Amino acid sequence: MHILPILCYLSLLSTCGVLLFAFMRAQRSIRELAQQLTFAREEQHQNKIQLTQRSELDTLKDEFISTVSHELRTPLTSIRGALGLLSSGVIGDVDAKAQNLLRIAVTNTDRLIRLINDILDLERMESGRAPLQIRRCSLREIAQQAIESMTGMAEANTVHLELAPLTPAQAATADSLFFDGDADRILQVLTNLLSNAVKFSPPASTVRIFTEATADSILFKVSDEGRGIPADQLDTIFDRFQQVEPSDARQKGGTGLGLAICRSIVQQHCGSIWAQRNLGPGTTLYVMLPRTVRSTDIMAEQQLPPVAQTQGAILVCDDDEGIRTIVNHHLTRQGYTVIEAASGEEALVHAAESHIEAILLDLYMPGLSGWETLQRLRNTPATAHIPVVILSVLSSALRPQLTGDAQGWVQKPFNESLLFAELGRVLHSGEGPAHVLLVEDDEDLASVIISSFQDAAVYLDHASSRQQAIRHCITRRPDLLILDLTLPDGDGFSLVEWLRNQPNLSTLPLVVYSGREVSEQDMAKLRLGPTEFLTKAKVQPQEVETLVLSMVRNLRSNKLSDFATVS
């Protein structure tokens, strides 16, 4: 009778114990969950802090790069410009000892400029501030352009450059060598690889470019016959500041960043780059790129505004059809009418029968050479007045021998900006000197730029601040403005905005000469009339002079054309 209550009591105690144990376990689980939630919140908070710190560091990095680009490029441009004026003899003749010291100074300044430009270019690419301009490209054309641009360096090192011919099978499917990519960047990769190959190749050797393609990818190889790369360094050569030998930077030149830049460009294209030792002497570098890119990566090519045509034509005389085609393309886009001549005899006929403003003349041609063509042009009254610009692989050091015969000289492979500038310089015309306003807060650089214009048909005013520039523009409208973007009382953007709101200044021709790279978005904000963008240290003051003269000449030609149309 008494056992049942006892069993019930024991059962109740057991149940209470189970419930108590379950409650204690639940309480412990709740504490553990609370601790986990607290830890998760703290971890999330720490992640937010880290992301904020990383964002702040990225911002500081961008600001540092921007500051370095301006603070280093501006004084380096002053130094290089001053040295260039001294070594060229514009200021006066110097003796042989001083000339050698100037050569050393110029060489090492150029080396420092290349280092800074390479560092900034690499940072811009890796930070995503240098987007690709994707379009359909021909691998063979880019390879040929790279060879043409590096021919001068190769000849100086007695190295031969060669684009390997296509096999019959490749020639039958030549379309397969087209791909989607940024032609300028791929050209930069090829020229960097060729530059390295030439530097480390023995005299009388050959550097070759091979091109191949599959259904999905294209491949190019640059092979040299040099000393080769040790097997343990085949991967590390693509790292920053890597040299096979510690003395290479001094003896061979370069910054140690060329291959790192190549890798960054190739990776932007979703491709790969690597190096292999040859079975014989030398090394081969391989670059593989996809044939196509994602549609979201493709950017439409910018539509250039139409340029007013000039009155006469430019006669391009060169026996190389490829050179004529390239020059014709560049000049046509600048508004020139172009007539091509494949020989000296043909050039003489065009010069006598057509309205020719200037002649671009190659020196070495079969039949009537450029030298003979030039003399016949000068000895014929009807053509003696036509300015001639020599377009030759020879150095412009030979220019003094042609004083009175040729008015200009551009060395192949040429930079199109310098070609335009030299052409504009010899065609400079107009009533009285052009009025150019230089807006630059660095007094040293301003002095160098002013000195580079001393023999030009240009009146140059200088303003060191935004307010001074506004006063100059109100007092006398300039024909053209050279503008730095960093000013002590504002910036170039605000000055351009002010100019845009002035009816008589809203189409002012402009040369933006900045210490930092200008993005596409900023370019759109800075355009007035005809506008060119130059980067300090990459473009020297003497090159600014020739570009300005070219723009002034085009401006005046267009005004004369408009006047003739109205009349």
Where in the chain are the domains?
135-292, 313-426, 434-566
Q: How far apart are CA 533 and CA 518, in angstroms?
A: 8
Q: What is the pLDDT of residues 57-97, one digit of tens each?
A: 666 666 666 666 667 777 878 887 788 778 777 677 778 88
CATH domain 434-566 topology: Rossmann fold (3.40.50)
Q: Average pLDDT of the chain?
A: 76
Q: How far is CA 68 from CA 72, 73, 75, 307, 308, in A?
A: 6, 8, 11, 36, 39
- Provide CATH code, domain 313-426: 3.40.50.2300
- Local structure of residue 95 (DSSP, 8 states): -
Q: How far apart are CA 358 and CA 181, in angstroms?
A: 36
When pLDDT is averaged across residues 503-518 and rounded to a whole number, the result is 83
Picking from 34-48, 379-393, 553-567, which range would have the lowest pLDDT averaged per residue? 553-567
**Do residues 341 and 360 touch, judged by C-beta distance below 8 A?**
no
SS3 538: coil
- The yes-or-no verdict on residue 409 having pLDDT over 90 is no
More confident residue, 345 or 43: 345
- Local structure of residue 305 (DSSP, 8 states): P
CATH domain 135-292 topology: Heat Shock Protein 90 (3.30.565)
Q: What is the pLDDT of residues 515-559, one digit of tens each?
A: 877 877 888 888 887 888 888 877 777 778 777 877 776 665 555
Q: What is the pLDDT of residues 113-135, one digit of tens each?
A: 777 777 777 777 766 666 777 88
**Residue 299 banded pLDDT, cuts 50, 70, 90:** very low
Closest of 315, 274, 327, 266 to residue 125, by C-alpha: 266
Same-fold call for 135-292 versus 313-426? no
- The yes-or-no verdict on residue 418 having pLDDT over 70 is no
The CA-to-CA distance between both ends of the chain, in Å, stands at: 135
